[in-house]
Amino acid sequence: MVQVTPAFKLNEQIQATVAKYSHNVPGAIAYLKEAIRTWTRVDSPEAVFVKACKKGSKPENWGKPKTSYPQPNEEQLAQLSIARSQRTILDYYQHDGLWMVETGKAVLAWWEVLELLE
């Protein structure tokens, strides 16, 4: 099966929606990706995105960690924050339930970075 992603046109309505509901954009993007992946048909990806952005829609599993991934505690997240402020690492973020760390040379799991910082 070949998956075809419909074209997404960044029109004035989308630009206005993004400006007004910027805090909902990441969830709306994830919602649109999920819709393209799971729905049988998406006639207007722009309309799906705009509606999701305005309503604050996001996939059901949005922001929920996968139980198989270990999660850092408050102290470990604080260590990562300090490392970022000292420019030891570039950034850290959560992707699909797993906390990742951008070192500038590689992207590592959070526990690998904490081992290197000790």
Q: Find, among 85, 82, 68, the residue nearest to 114 by Cα.
A: 82
- Lay out the sheet containing 91-95: strands in order across: 91-95, 98-102, 107-109
Looking at residue 1, its pLDDT comes to: 42
Q: Is residue 41 part of a domain?
A: yes
13's CB contacts (< 8 A; 6+ apart) are 46, 50
Question: Is residue 104 assigned to a domain?
Answer: yes
| Rounded Cα–Cα distance for residues 37 and 18 (Å) | 22
The verdict on residue 63 lying in a domain is no
Residue 3 lies in a domain: no
pLDDT given for residue 85 in this prediction: 93
51 & 83 share domain: no
113 and 79 in a common domain: yes
Domain count of the chain? 2
> Any idea what DSSP says for residue 58?
-
Judge whether 65 lies within some domain: no
| 47 and 78 together in one domain | no
- Residue 8 pLDDT: 73
Residue-range definition of the domain harbouring residue 102: 74-117
Judge if 17 and 51 occupy the same domain: yes
CA distance 17 to 37: 23
Total-model pTM: 0.51
> Is 19 contained in some domain?
yes
In a domain, residue 26? The reply is: yes
What pLDDT is stored for residue 107 in this prediction?
84
Judge whether 27 and 57 are in contact, CB under 8 Å: yes
Tell me what pLDDT residue 62 has. Answer: 74
> What are the pLDDT tens digits along the chain (118 aa)?
444 555 677 889 888 999 999 999 888 988 988 888 888 888 888 999 999 999 999 888 776 665 677 888 999 999 999 999 999 889 988 877 788 888 888 888 888 888 888 7
Nearest to 51 by CA among 21, 23, 6, 11: 21
Query: Model confidence over 35-62: pLDDT tens digits?
Result: 888 888 888 889 999 999 999 998 887 7
Q: Tell whether 88 is covered by a domain.
A: yes
End-to-end CA distance of the chain: 48
